[in-house]
Amino acid sequence: MTKRTLPTLDLKRGYARIKDEIDVAVKEVFESQYFIMGPTLSAFESDVERYLEVPRAIGCASGSDALLLALMALDLKPGDEVITTPYSFFATVSCITRLGATPVFADIDGDSYNVTAESVLSKVTERTKAFIPVHLFGQMVHLEKMRSELEGKGIAIIEDCAQSFGSWREIDGAPVRSGSYGVMGCFSFFPTKNLGCCGDGGMVVSRDQALADRLAKLRVHGAGTTYYHDEVGLNSRLDAIQAAILRVKLRHLDRWNEERRAAADRYKLLFAENDLLDLVTPPSEDEGNYHIYHQYVPRVQGDRDGLVDFLGKEGITSRVYYPVPLHLQRCFSFLGYGEGDCPVSEKLSRQSIALPIFPELEADEQEWVVSTIARFYGKN
């Protein structure tokens, strides 16, 4: 008998559910032989505009490029400051330093893993040009508490929505989807994201038509008309094949996000049933938020790395997001941050553990995960 195993995410189960639809969509693109730009990409961009209720969506080659394009569209330059979180994936910050600008780190809240209005507003200076909130693990930042103050000072809000496609937050009594509240929203379609394609892919959405026009040029080497270059841009498009796949998956996304939420609820129940709540703190969903659990990340007491190893030996994969906060990464040492500058992020980097979560995760698999954690702590 082969040993039972559980990955953090099983993409094969997801594909099996929609294989027929995906295969037809991909075949259509092959038949058309239209791979770069073109009608399939435009159709997906329109789908996203409708889904997010934004006027413009511009596909590009990755989430990292989406962030870079957004900052290029703002003409970010050396001397400019961009406020963001130290507790995120690397690309949130590398786009800033790549343009010679300076990231300024605002520490996060220990329950939501997201930046707070107080910490962000305390970092504003005359040089602040933009703010990049990251809706980490699928839960939105409380942007309504800072938007008017930041925008009043001419500071652009660029949402990093790589982990939050489909999440929303109730603002002024109505649901607002992540990506539609700042002046630009940046998405990644990396295969492991909630809406993932079969390779690299990304998108910038904007409610500002002038910025959107600029983005549409920047992704094609800065050309307004082919071979007439107004400025130097990137070569960064979303392939038609990926757009076709994403069109299929977007139709199912809300159901998959609901299934992730159900799995998150079940984990919480199981932690309680296994008498683990003094050792394991489940992730919290803020009032008014629709969390889509891109990752399920509780905080644990005691030997976190030992727990990761213990689960791994039993066949259960877990991960640490993120073991080194960005202000302590070697490549950013020139910024002059040190241990203690963002204490909450540093603490969470030692306590957080990402457990398996995906729409097809079975109840008995979750029971196995939690009873194994209970065994690690000597609770059963």
Ligand X SMILES: *Cc1c(COP(=O)(O)O)cnc(C)c1O
Active site residues: 193
Min separation Cβ 162 and ligand X, Å = 3
The correct pick among 139, 188, 194, 352 for binding ligand X (CB under 6 A) is 188
Closer CB to ligand X, 240 or 307, in the complex: 240
Residue among 234, 243, 261, 141 nearest 195 (CA): 243
Which helix (H) or strand (E) segment holds residue 48: the answer is: helix 39-52
* Mask for 72-111, x = binds ligand X (CB under 6 A): ----------------xx-xx-------------------
Min separation Cβ 131 and ligand X, Å = 15
Residue 295 engages ligand X in binding (rule: CB under 6 A): no
Sequence-distant (≥ 6) Cβ neighbours of residue 232 within 8 angstroms: 221, 222
Residue among 110, 146, 108, 109 nearest 128 (CA): 146
The stretch near ligand X (CB under 6 A) out of 56-64, 229-237, 274-282, 298-306 is 56-64
CB 4 within 8 A of CB 317: no
Min separation Cβ 62 and ligand X, Å = 4
Residue among 354, 362, 360 nearest 252 (CA): 360
Q: What is the DSSP code string of 226-280?
A: TTEESS---B----HHHHHHHHHHHHHHHHHHHHHHHHHHHHHHHHHHTT-TTTE
Min separation Cβ 64 and ligand X, Å = 3
The correct pick among 107, 160, 239, 314 for binding ligand X (CB under 6 A) is 160
Calpha distance 153→249 (Å, rounded):
39
Closer CB to ligand X, 40 or 88, in the complex: 88
The correct pick among 14, 44, 57, 64 for binding ligand X (CB under 6 A) is 64
Closer CB to ligand X, 88 or 352, in the complex: 88
Tell me the number of residues near ligand X by CB under 6 A: 15
Residue 293 engages ligand X in binding (rule: CB under 6 A): no
Residue 63 engages ligand X in binding (rule: CB under 6 A): yes
How are beta strands 156-160 and 184-188 bridged, if at all? parallel
Residue among 132, 83, 89, 141 nearest 112 (CA): 141
Binding site for ligand X (CB under 6 A): 62-64, 88-89, 91-92, 134, 160, 162-163, 188, 190, 200, 202
